[in-house]
Structure 1
Amino acid sequence: MTTRRVLTVSAGALALLLSAPTAASAYPIVGAPELTQNPLYTVPALPSVACKAVKGTTKASTTAYLKKIVGCLNTAWGRRVKDFVPAELGIKDTYEHGPCFNGVTVSGSFATSCYRSVQVQLRSDWIKARSELPVLVEVTRAYAQFIQAQTGISEAWWALRYDGEEAEMNEQTHRFYQQADCLTGVSLRSLGRTARDWGPLLSAETPKEYDRFIPKWYGKPANRLAWFRAGYGSAKPGACNTWKAPSAKVA
């Protein structure tokens, strides 16, 4: 058996209707209730949280904006997750060892989940950005992975074993990242944010250094958007159980 060898970083179409599985997955998850039956799926819809964060175009105002957003997310999720511990936010100009110590140098800004915290490398691209939405989506997806870590999903995913099946490893990786997309939708609905088209925003701020990995990690853009919309439309984490979905819906 082999274990996963994938870098866990945040990265930052046609919608698919998500319904209960009607066919068996090619690689069903066995013996990992933290993934398939996590208590997260039973909590009520996230409450609406007034979050009047305004992003300016200075380092100080952008830093204050990021702190406000993470604070609002802590408020929303803290009302739903049992034994919740608020996410800490780390902001630096440079993380010399890459996102969460993965050893990859990223030239621009990024956000990622790191040891149950949210880590942001803040540079001029995000500071000068006039629209909050691309930055907000990336930070909120990093927070989604923080929720996955806090609820035991990340640890259970890393513990999965594979019998030399790269296709199986890829599929379960898609399940993890598409679940993060779905939880991002839940969060953005809670914050009351809207967009004409969420699709391009899901990858707008993905570090360019990871472009070649995105299909392998995240899967098809249409499926990513479908899961995002499932979370956004319901505001319920229970809509985000990618671990029981048919293979086609996480391809």
Structure 2
Amino acid sequence: MMIRVLAATAAGLMAFSGTAAAYPIKGVPELTHNALYKKGKLPKISCKLSKGTTKSSTTKYLNTLVGCLNDAWGPFIPDFEPVKTDIKATHDEGPCHNGIKITGSFAISCYTQLQIQLGADWISAKDDLPILAQVAQAWSGVVMGRTGIGAAYWAMPNDADEKQLDEQERRFSMQQLCLAGVTLKALGGKSKNWKATLKAEEPTPKDKYWRDRFSKDKISANDLYWFTQGYTKGTPGACNTWTAPASKVA
């Protein structure tokens, strides 16, 4: 999904020495046996969210949402420091961006913040479920970055064959989706069609080349499988894509 290539999890870009990865993933306990997987079920988030259709009310809504996620996920992450929001009309430059300019709103994780580009689409939206879905995916970047998953992933050798690298990328992105499912379950989010909801939250690139490229992206059966795993079980332990059979991350 395109939102997952807007930016690398900045916290995961820190140097991480001594990592060696075989194919499939072996010798990287930060991925395959991370302590996060033993943390149990994320408690239901009691979050009083009220989204209006003005810039100020939407900004307040987003700050409140992130505050609730801090409270819920904080006990699951060692030495947790609350995440703040950096909300602007435009976020298209800086170390956490890949240069793709986006029309409308999106959220990404960046170091100790969530960067949110707030446009008219989110401000005017009366249904906040797609917004929750995208913020939940950005929040997955926080979780993965703060627990060593991001650093371990980015430290794996990048000179492997294309098949191996593609599979590693899918394991990473599907774990991100799964953790978003955990968050949405705790928030009480409900959808009759999660596939459509997850697709609806995708940002739109301004450049036609990137629009055409990412318009072909689809939510695969395995994407939906991992999201559903997280949503149904409500625990990070359901999201260990690194030890799953290759068929489950194809």
Q: When the two structures are superposed, what TM-score results if normalisation uses the length of structure 1?
A: 0.84
Shift of 1:99: 8.4
Q: What is the aligned counterpart of 2:153 among 149, 157, 167?
A: 157
**Deviation above 4 Å: which 4+ runs of structure 1?**
213-216
CA contact (8 A) 1:45 1:236 kept: yes
Give 3-state SS (helix, strand or coil) of 1:120's partner: strand
Distance 1:79 1:130, change over 3 A: same
Deviations 1:38-70 (A, max 9, x none): 100010111112112021111011101111111
- CA distance in 1: counterparts of 2:235 and 2:248, whole angstroms: 19
1:46 aligns with 2:24: no
Asked whether 1:75 is paired with 2:74, we answer no
Deviation at 1:7, TM superposition (A): 4.4
SS of the aligned residue for 1:79 comes to helix
The gaps in structure 2 that reach 5 residues or longer are 9-21
Aligned twin of 2:123: 127
**What's the counterpart of residue 18 of structure 2?**
none
**How far apart, in 1, do the equivalents of 2:92 and 2:40 lie?**
40
Q: What SS class does the counterpart of residue 78 from structure 1 fall into?
A: helix
What's the offset of the Cα at 1:215? 7.5
Q: Which moved more, 1:72-81 or 1:240-249?
A: 72-81
2:86 aligned with 1:90: yes
Q: Structure 1's 8 and 148: CA in aligned 2 closer, same or farther, altered over 3 A?
A: farther
**Structure-to-structure mapping, 1:1-251, within 5 angstroms:** 7-9=5-7, 27-97=23-93, 100-209=96-205, 212-213=213-214, 221-251=220-250
Partner letter of residue 61 of structure 1? S
- Please give the secondary structure, in 2, of the residue aligned with 1:161: coil
Checking the alignment, whether the CA contact within 8 Å between 2:191 and 2:197 is kept in structure 1 is no
Shift of the 80–136 alpha-carbon distance from structure 1 to 2, 3 Å rule, reads same
| Matched letter for residue 188 of structure 1 | L
Q: Which amino acid aligns with 2:108?
A: T
CA distance in structure 1 between the partners assigned to 2:150 and 2:164 by the alignment: 17
For 1:172-201, what per-residue CA distance to the aligned partner results, in whole angstroms no more than 9, with x for missing partners?
A: 111111101110111111112211121111
Identify if the C-alpha distance between structure 1 residues 214 and 150 changes in structure 2 by more than 3 Å, giving closer, same or farther: farther
SS of the counterpart of 1:111? strand
**What are the superposed Cα offsets for residues 65-86 of structure 1, whole Å, 9 maximum, x if unpaired?**
1111111111110132222222
User: For residue 120 of structure 1, what is the amino acid of its counterpart?
Assistant: I
**Aligned residues: CA RMSD:** 2.2
Report the Cα distance in structure 1 between the residues aligned to 2:230 and 2:223, rounded to whole angstroms: 11
Per-residue displacement from partner, 1:204-230 (whole Å, max 9, x unpaired)? 1212225625888xx852111111111
Q: CA deviation at 1:101?
A: 3.0
Once residues 194 and 98 of structure 1 are traced to their aligned partners in structure 2, the CA distance between those partners, rounded to angstroms, is: 34
Q: Does the CA contact (< 8 Å) of 1:141 and 1:180 recur in 2?
A: yes
CA contact (8 A) 1:98 1:105 kept: no
**Structure 1 regions of 5+ residues with no counterpart?**
1-5, 11-25
Within 2, Cα distance between the matches of 1:71 and 1:105? 28
Q: Which stretch shows the higher mean deviation, 56-65 or 79-88?
A: 79-88
Pairs aligned (count)? 229
Report the Cα offset of residue 166 of structure 1. Answer: 1.3
**Distance (whole Å) between structure 2 residues aligned to residue 8 and residue 200 of structure 1:** 20
Instruction: Please state whether the residue corresponding to 1:203 is helix, strand or coil.
Output: helix
Matched residue of 2:103: which SS? Answer: coil
The 2-side partners of 1:87 and 1:104 are apart by 24
Distance 1:116 1:166 in 2: 32
Distance 1:101 1:172 in 2: 21
